[in-house]
Amino acid sequence: MSLIIYSIKIAILSYIIYSQMKKDNLFTRLLTLFLTFLKVGALTFGGGYAMIPIVLEEVSKKKKWISEMEMLDIIAISESTPGPIAVNTATYVGYRVNGILGSIVATFGLALPSFVIIFVISYFYKDFMQWQVIQAAFKGLKVGVILLLFNAVLKLKKGVKFTIIGVISFILALAVMIIFSIFDIQFKFMSLCLILYGILLGIVLTKIGKMEGGKE
C-alpha cells in the first residue's frame, strides 16, 4: 500500500518538475546544472576533456546560457587554475549560470556519482583482490597505468614551451625526484616545492622581461 502512495507521490513530483522545466527560473537553472554535471560525473571516464561535449550540448546548445566561444575561455581558465579541470569547469559554468549557489550545485552534481561508485567499490576491493585472476589482471594493469603516464607526458609535452630555462627546470625537477627516490629520502612536500619554484620563476622572469606573456 505504502509503495503505491509512494509511486503516486513520485509521479506528481516528476510532473511538477517536468512542467517547471520549460520555464527559466531559479529552480530549473539549478536543476539543469545539477543534472548536467551529474551526467558528466557518471558518464565521463578519466575526466578532463571527455566532459566538454556533454557540457556544450546541455548548457550552450539546449539552454543557450553560455555561448560556445565563452566555453572555450572557461576551458582555458579551468586548465590554468589549480584543481582538477572537471571540477574547475563545473564551478565556473555553475557560477556563470547562477552565481555562487549555481557553482555549488554544479560541483555537487559532478562529485556525487564518483562518490557513490567509489564508495561501493572500496567495500569490495579487499575481497576482490584475493582472487588469483584479479591479481594477475592487476599486475597487467600496472604496466597499463605506466603506459598511460608516459602517454600523458607525450600529450602534455605539446603545450609546453621549452625555452632554455624551461629545459633546465625540467631536468632539475626530474633529477631531484629520481635522486630522492634512489637515496630513499622521504620528503612529502618535494613536488609542492618544485611547483612553487616553477610559479615563482615564471613570475620573476615575466617581471624582468625574460619570458613572454600573452596567449599561446
Partner 1 sequence: MVFFELFYTFFLIGLFTFGGGYAMIPMIQEQVVGKGWISEEALTDFIAISEVTPGPFALNISTFVGNTLAGPFGAICSTLGVILPSLIVIIIVAMIMKKFIANRYVQGALNGVKPIVLALILSTALLLLVKVTLFGGHSLQSEFSFDKRSLALLVFLVGFITIYKKINKKSLSPIKILGLSALLGIIIFTV
Site for partner 1 in 136-195 (CB under 8 A): 136-153, 156-157, 159-163, 166-167, 169-174, 177-178, 181-182, 184, 186-192, 194-195
State which of residues 44, 52, 61, 127 lies at the interface with partner 1 (CB under 8 A): 44
Q: How far is the CB of 15 from partner 1 (least distance, A)?
A: 30
The number of CA neighbours under 13 Å toward the Cβ of 140 is 6
**Residue 81 touches partner 1, criterion: CB under 8 A:** yes
Number of residues that bind partner 1 (CB under 8 A): 109
**Residue 42 touches partner 1, criterion: CB under 8 A:** yes
Contact 30, 105 (CB under 8 A): yes
**Tally of residues, the chain:** 216
State which of residues 32, 88, 98, 109 lies at the interface with partner 1 (CB under 8 A): 88
Q: How far is the CB of 105 from partner 1 (least distance, A)?
A: 12
Burial class (CB in 10 A: 0-12, 13-18, 19+), 166: middle
Please report which helix (H) or strand (E) contains residue 13, including its range: helix 2-21
